[in-house]
């Protein structure tokens, strides 16, 4: 069955500027935007709550320990209750904070100078340094994946948690995601999909690619698994959402034209897809 737009955000409730992040959690959709707000929606994209999280862009949000975390170009990292969005500042720095990611009880924050700050129970417990400014960051176990527009770096935190070594530097750019044992990201042009084996013992070998997967730069990616296999959603400036199946080959399953540039993608219940982008637009796309 083809991908079709099921519902879209009400013009009176949508964000004022571009969507920066979408997360589906416990039957609710959380969104952040360049308007500095975080909003909560039900699964039909009906507004439930909102907060003016930052005076300027909210670059990233993540969820963990029943909290929402955010970061911004104002240098702050904040935490909010999931329902009421009651705010607490946990960090204030001079640098722009680009990405937050929660993993195994810890919050990881990447900034524009190449530092990764690690928080536990909202307290700073470590600072690690990578070799480039960070626009995307993913922490899985003791591995940290960071990217901007030239390289994807795979780094390993050593058991004592106080130092990090680089395992692999691969030509490519953000955004990045991991689906099963596959690491997915994009070429420096932003148009080609790269898939690598996400295994240290295999030296993160490249196992597939799609040339010119999109006509213009890819801004957003989301991976998921179901009984039918492993899949990837991609979207960007060409205003097209594409669904790929990851197997021995990378096959285009379906695509859907959207009437705005795509900047964020997340998967909801029953493989429903939420797509956000230009001017605060959000749509729910389903099979």
Q: What is the pLDDT of residues 155-188, one digit of tens each?
A: 998 866 567 788 999 999 999 999 999 999 999 9
Closest CA to 42 of 24, 66, 18, 20: 24
- pLDDT single digits (tens) 192-219: 999 999 999 999 999 999 999 999 999 9
Residues 100-142: tens digit of each pLDDT: 999 999 999 999 999 999 999 999 998 989 878 899 999 999 9
What pTM does this model have? 0.94
| Each residue's pLDDT tens digit, 219-243 | 999 999 999 999 999 999 999 999 9
- pLDDT of 52 higher than 70: yes
For each of the domains in the chain, give its residue range(s) and CATH number, in order of start. Answer: 4-286 (2.130.10.10)
């Amino acid at each position: 069955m083809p991908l079709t737009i099921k519902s879209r955000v009400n013009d009176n409730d949508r964000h004022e500027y571009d969507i920066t992040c979408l997360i589906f959690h416990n039957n609710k959709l959380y969104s952040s935007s360049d308007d500095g707000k975080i909003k909560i929606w039900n699964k039909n994209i009906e507004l439930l709550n909102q907060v003016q999280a930052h005076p300027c862009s909210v670059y990233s949000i993540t969820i963990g320990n029943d909290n929402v975390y955010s970061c911004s170009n104002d240098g702050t990292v904040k935490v909010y209750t999931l329902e009421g969005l009651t705010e607490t500042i946990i960090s204030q720095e001079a640098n722009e904070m680009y990405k937050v990611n929660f993993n195994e009880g810890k919050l990881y924050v990447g900034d524009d100078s190449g530092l990764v700050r690690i928080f536990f129970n909202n307290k700073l417990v470590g600072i690690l340094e990578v070799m480039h400014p960070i626009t995307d960051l993913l922490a899985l176990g003791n591995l940290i994946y960071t990217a901007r527009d030239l390289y994807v770096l795979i780094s390993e935190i050593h058991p004592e948690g106080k130092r990090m070594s680089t395992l692999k530097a691969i030509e490519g750019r953000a955004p990045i995601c991991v689906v099963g044992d596959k690491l997915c990201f994009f070429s420096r042009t932003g148009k080609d999909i790269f898939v690598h084996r996400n295994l240290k013992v295999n030296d993160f070998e490249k196992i597939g690619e799609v040339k010119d997967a999109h006509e213009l730069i890819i801004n957003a990616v989301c991976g998921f698994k179901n009984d039918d296999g492993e899949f990837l959603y991609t979207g960007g400036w060409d205003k097209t959402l594409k669904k790929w199946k990851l197997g021995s080959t990378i096959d285009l399953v379906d695509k859907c034209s959207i009437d705005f540039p795509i900047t964020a993608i997340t998967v909801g219940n029953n493989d429903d897809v939420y797509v956000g982008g230009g001017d605060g637009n959000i749509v729910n796309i389903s099979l």
